[in-house]
Amino acid sequence: MTQSIINTKIKEFSATAFHKGDFVQVSDKDLAGKWSVVFFYPADFTFVCPTELGDLADYYAQLQQMGVEVYSVSTDTHFTHKAWHDTSDTIGKIDFPMIGDPTGRITRNFGVMIEEDGLALRGTFVINPEGEIKVAEVHDLGIGRSAKELVRKIQAAQYVAKHDGEVCPAAWQPGEETLAPSLDLVGKI
């Protein structure tokens, strides 16, 4: 990423996803009006990817309760997603849409395409109901992500969105104190 995409609007897209046994169309319009996570990973039938997707599937019910929809994306096709879902116990527990991006358009829109390989980096993007990117995290291929930490980041983003003038300090958890930036706090933290 050469420039930050934080607070920018997501670009238009339309793609086919595998979701709950069916092939469905998903577009940027499906993300409008709710919190969303777009979760890029390199490829189906690999090694770190199923550990991440399985971890995310374990937190999916909690994310749904928080009003968050999850969309996983790789440059594989929706057909490959179905085959992986049907043959892997870990991937078989996924209930969120698995978007196929074989042209790489969505992956490029979010700045996570590895051009020479045609694969996505491990990119996680939290998008608010207005379609603005509030969290952007990109990992190298060998570094897996934590769904537990993603939940905490979304909780913080949702808190800040509802409480104008407050910010969440490092490692903040729901129910803990926040900060109200002011001249009085300068040099005292």
Phi, psi of 139 (to 5 degrees): -115, 155
3-state secondary structure the chain: CCCCCCCCECCCCEEEEEECCEEEEEEHHHHCCCEEEEEECCCCCCCHHHHHHHHHHHHHHHHHHCCEEEEEEECCCHHHHHHHHHHCHHHHCCCCCEEECCCCHHHHHCCCEECCCCEECEEEEEECCCCEEEEEEEECCCCCCCHHHHHHHHHHHHHHHHCCCCECCCCCCCCCCCECCCHHHCCCC
Catalytic option among 49, 136, 150, 157: 49
Asked whether 169 and 146 are in contact (CB, 8 A), the reply is no
49 labelled catalytic: yes
**Strand 35-40 vs strand 122-127: parallel, antiparallel, or unpaired?**
antiparallel
User: How many whole angstroms from its chain centre is CA 8?
Assistant: 15
Catalytic residues: 49
